[in-house]
Structure 1
């Protein structure tokens, strides 16, 4: 491919709890998945991140999640469909208001953590999230796990989709992410991560945790903002892609 998006999860600090280096990361990425207050983030901090994203020309997405501040949105929840739909509507709406105040706009939706992994395969919860996006703004792009059934479900629902791969996470052979509870699930070596993403962009493959290559087509690459060394990882990926002739461009700005 000639271009790809680079995104990160930002706006996740909460009060005195500082998470990530948003200011520096916004000088590297092309898209920012901004917390909406359910899994992380407080209004003032979210607004600061949105203003910084606007000043850097970084595209903004709503990073919606389960109502789980204590667990950072990484605990599975069996939420009723109507409640989940309302929760997602609420989060997108809140971020849209803050984004407008910051001089930018929400262009896409990326579910967070356990919600992201659940709706990749759980049709009931996926339908609730899809309906919520349609209720608020059907022009929003949905970022999905590359290769997951959610891609097809979202397209059939009439939503535009951007498939995502993770730079700093290990993959199983079926294309799912290795559980964070398992050793080796999170990658920290910047050179290794950059090389993996170069192969992804160039060849459409990624090495899974057992050493086998699997096919993976992605529109965007994610580096988690809360990971140790996240800025160095993102910078290494950006540099390696640039040297390979791969341009970075926000997927939400490329048209259908």
Structure 2
């Protein structure tokens, strides 16, 4: 059995290169919430060296808040900015004969677009304008992915190992102090449920069916490297291997 493991990366943290040894996909910041041309170049080259699938991780152009605060931008301006972010990373990939395989929105942009049809439409427009071959990676079971399918984009259904879920399968907002799963046992239980049983337990104790193609690791926490190693090893114990791209 294979299951993709993706990490948000290229955000300026010192252990990026080491994280790549434990994952099969990398969602690379494109200079919106974080990242720079030099970081993108280094990260793409490291992905190619390890056979890691390359994805774009565009966010609101707000590095001061790390893209985790929703911005009230005019739709045209946001669309232009997202296209610029995708074009930046795509150009770096093309220069190295690499493919930008998917797009995963970041932070507040991701969380809003999950249920905001207008914003999800805008993200799909950016993808189709710049990298129409790329898939949209988003929250499994969300309206955002249904919309992407409607406009004939490939989709990658994503599950989270270290985020709590609400009743109905949405994520607990980052503003909630209980949004993150911190303990090893809690992460192990959620990983096992997602990988083997295709289910997740919500914050209120309710169970939800959820089919995932990829599991997310966040690369911006102090224990990111330790967590990545633990998750990779536990997936192996469960009988899964990472796909080769």
Are 2:32 and 1:38 aligned?
A: yes
Aligned to 1:197: 191
Contact 2:193 2:199 in 1 (8 A): yes
Aligned to 2:8: 9
- Which residue of 115, 119, 134 corresponds with 1:121? 115
Aligned to 2:93: 99
Aligned to 1:165: 159
- Which residue of 183, 206, 215 corresponds with 2:209? 215
Tell me how far apart the structure 2 counterparts of residues 232 and 173 of structure 1 sit (CA, whole Å). 29
Aligned to 1:73: 67
SS at match of 1:175: coil
Residue ranges of structure 1 left out of the alignment (5+ in a row): 14-18
Contact 2:90 2:131 in 1 (8 A): no
State the shift of 1:11 in Å.
0.5
Are 2:130 and 1:136 aligned?
A: yes
Count the aligned residue pairs. Answer: 245
Tell me how far apart the structure 1 counterparts of residues 94 and 115 of structure 2 sit (CA, whole Å). 33
Tell me how far apart the structure 1 counterparts of residues 45 and 97 of structure 2 sit (CA, whole Å). 7
Give RMSD over aligned pairs.
1.5
Residue ranges of structure 2 left out of the alignment (5+ in a row): none
Tell me how far apart the structure 2 counterparts of residues 12 and 222 of structure 1 sit (CA, whole Å). 15
Contact 2:7 2:219 in 1 (8 A): yes
TM-score, structure 2 as length reference: 0.95
Runs of 4+ in 1 over 6 A off after TM superposition: none
State the shift of 1:242 in Å.
1.1
Aligned to 1:60: 54
- Which residue of 75, 79, 83 corresponds with 1:85? 79
Contact 1:145 1:163 in 2 (8 A): yes
TM-score, structure 1 as length reference: 0.91
Deviations 1:223-249 (A, max 9, x none): 100023112222212111111112222
Contact 1:20 1:226 in 2 (8 A): no
